[in-house]
Structure 1
Amino acid sequence: MGGTPVLAELTDGVVLRRAHVDDLPTLVRLLVADQLGARRDSADDLAPYERAFAAIDADPAQLLVVAATGDRVVGMFQLTVIPGLARRGARRAQIEAVRVAEDLRSRGLGAAMMRWAVDEARRRGCALVQLTSDRTRLDAHRFYERLGFVRSHEGFKLTL
């Protein structure tokens, strides 16, 4: 988006910037293109995504980032800073919704996005970065492990 400040310049003309509401259709398509998102998300009705975007955008603890080349959004992730009492009151960063356009995978873009997210978490005073990944996403697990993430916990979820 013209006028949206660049957070970082990556490789091959790709920049990171805050997501803008005009990016939503593309962001939802990235979510739907994922093997799990195809079952959970839908581009048919953007209203719930618009409400979520407004809440994320208004919260200073949230950062929804897009990777873009020119006017094309080619990746995304959400970074959330969570204050806590554990670990001597440490802040932690949660990374979610990491997506890269299929035609640009395995070129280092995802790794560059994650390195920036980790550096941003450090800049925001976080003591650790955490993420979850569905147990069926074996390629994603290898990717995160190559970046230094360690399988340290067993996760639990309760759908409401």
Structure 2
Amino acid sequence: MDTTAGVVHLHRATADDVPALVRLLADDALGADREDPSALAPYQEAFAELDADPRQLLVAARHGQDLVGTLQLTIIPGLSRHAVRRAQIEGVRVASSMRGCGLGTLLLRWAADEARRRGAGLLQLTSDLQRTDAIRFYQSLGMTHSHAGMKLDLDL
């Protein structure tokens, strides 16, 4: 995939990618408070679980040796909308050093193509309302702000 910063390669994330993925998740104002790159055990357990699930795909983007982007794609079967499969995107991150060079657009377009390939008829994601730039970005790709997302912290 070509970006203005050069070629980026996408691959299914591996267990070896987990430390860099967690650093990437922590590399923004909200993630800095939510993630802990110094305590990898829960992330490694979560990775093993999602990697074993055929409806999950965690993608890593590399620019040279650097991991510079990620997203998780989940295929969700359902009955509504004439039993359409939904593709849920979570955990979209682009390294601060790569923002503005087209990587986010390439990641989301790739995810839409992969969702179609997996039989999904609807692509959806949620974004924290504090991420106003991200919301504008998603809208620039044709996504519509059609629903209100709700969350409940279950305090595990």
1:96 to 90, 100, 106: 90
Q: Does 1:62 align with 2:60?
A: no
Aligned to 1:25: 19
Instruction: Using CA pairs under 8 Å that are at least 6 residues apart, name the structure with larger relative contact order, 1 or 2.
Output: 2
CA distance in 2, matches of 1:22, 1:69: 16
Give deviations 1:72-115, integer Å, cap 9, x for gaps: 11100000000001011110000011111101100101100100
Q: What residue identity is the alignment partner of 1:85?
A: L
Contact between 1:96 and 1:131, CA under 8 Å: does it hold in 2?
Answer: yes
Q: Is the 8 A contact 1:10 1:16 kept in 2?
A: no
Q: TM-score by structure 1 length?
A: 0.92
Match of 1:74 among 68, 77, 81: 68
Counterpart in the other structure of 1:157:
151
Pairwise CA distance, 1:70? 2.3
Cα shift at 1:36: 1.2
Q: TM-score, normalised by structure 2?
A: 0.95
Q: How many residues align?
A: 152
Which runs of at least 4 in structure 1 moved beyond 6 Å after TM superposition? none
Following the alignment from structure 2 to structure 1, what is the Cα–Cα distance between the partners of residues 13 and 56? Answer: 11
Inter-partner Cα distance in structure 2 for 1:95 and 1:34: 18
Stretches of structure 1 lacking an aligned partner (at least 5 in a row): 1-8
* In structure 2, C-alpha distance between the alignment counterparts of 1:126 and 1:35, rounded to whole Å: 32
Root mean square deviation of aligned Cα: 0.9
**Aligned partner (choices 33, 37, 40) of residue 39 of structure 1:** 33
* Sequence identity (%): 59
**Cα distance in 2 for residues equivalent to 1:10 and 1:62:** 25
SS of alignment partner, residue 68 of structure 2? strand
1:62 maps to amino acid: Q
Give the match for residue 124 of structure 1: 118
Name the amino acid aligned to 1:124.
R
